[in-house]
Amino acid sequence: MLVLLTNDDGIHAPGLNTLARQMQSFGEIIVVAPDREQSASSHSLTLTRPLRIMEFGDSRYAVDGTPTDAVMVAVHGILKNRRKPDLLISGINHGANMGDDVSYSGTVAAAIEGSIIGIPSMAVSLINPEAGDFVPAARVVRKIARWVVQNGLPQFSFLNINMPYIGNKSFKGIKVTRLGRRIYNDVVVEKVDPRGKNYYWIAGDPEWVDVEGSDYAAVSRGMVSISPLKVDMTDSKLHEKLKDMKLKI
């Protein structure tokens, strides 16, 4: 069993390292992750410069690129003379990746890339982790990973898993969910640097819409949320409607 671990928080992130330790008994573990934080990098690839790798020993590698770069380099570079990984896990992310956030998430994008390549893939996030305590979440990931290995996932589909931080308490179960809705009251903060040039910070206070059956509803009730997602973003209902569109060009 060969398991590829990655993330968007960087090679030294506590969530990734805790997961790597918890997965040691699962099989051979290889960690290939960005060399620094790449949050909100989405599914971007680096195409305008070469990518460099730093090896830390114990099958741990840092790539000076995005999470998607890390997956590409791992599968088509570092592991090119070996078999494809049996499982890819991206995380454990420091913070939620629910609802509309998945379109921005580097954590989720790494799982998307894995599913495109044909590797059963999972993206995992822990909401508001305190004191770096990722152990309970990592144990849950290991259980879900075993189910995925035994049952498989369709190619181009993957799991997006979110967990609330529970401290010394127990999770209140697992819920299979759909993506929720997060409304951002986006704010662009304008400032001036010492040379008189304007620069901007993107900020904003998010608000969740509490819809039954959503990822947010599950984690807000202390449950582990598992959202099955797929790469194909075709709107099937709208596709059927547009098939009858009589438009002359």
- pLDDT tens figures, 27-46: 999 999 999 999 999 999 99
Determine, yes or no, domain membership for 203: no
Per DSSP, 217 falls in state: H
Residue 50: exposed, middle, or buried by beta-carbon count in 10 A (0-12, 13-18, 19+)? exposed
Does 129 map to a domain? Answer: yes
Cβ neighbours of 86 (radius 10 Å): 17
C-alpha to C-alpha distance for 219 and 215, rounded to whole angstroms: 6
For residue range 82-112, list pLDDT tens digits in order: 999 999 999 999 999 999 999 999 999 999 9
Does 48 fall in a domain? yes
Q: What CATH number corresponds to the domain at position 127?
A: 3.40.1210.10
**Residue 54 located in a structural domain:** yes
Question: How many structural domains is the chain composed of?
Answer: 1
| Residue 192: inside a domain | no
pLDDT in tens, 136-148: 999 999 999 999 9
DSSP H helices in the chain: 14-22, 67-73, 106-117, 135-151, 215-220, 236-243
pTM of the model: 0.93
Q: Tell me which residue range forms the domain holding 93.
A: 2-180+211-243
Q: Does residue 218 lie in a domain region? A: yes
- The secondary structure of residue 101, as a DSSP letter, is G
Domain for residue 38, yes or no? yes
State the chain's mean pLDDT as an integer.
93
Selection from 8, 154, 156, 28 nearest residue 86 by Cα: 28
Question: Sign of dihedral through CA atoms 34, 35, 40, 46?
Answer: negative
Chain segment 178-220, per-residue pLDDT in tens? 999 877 677 888 999 999 999 999 877 777 888 899 999 999 9
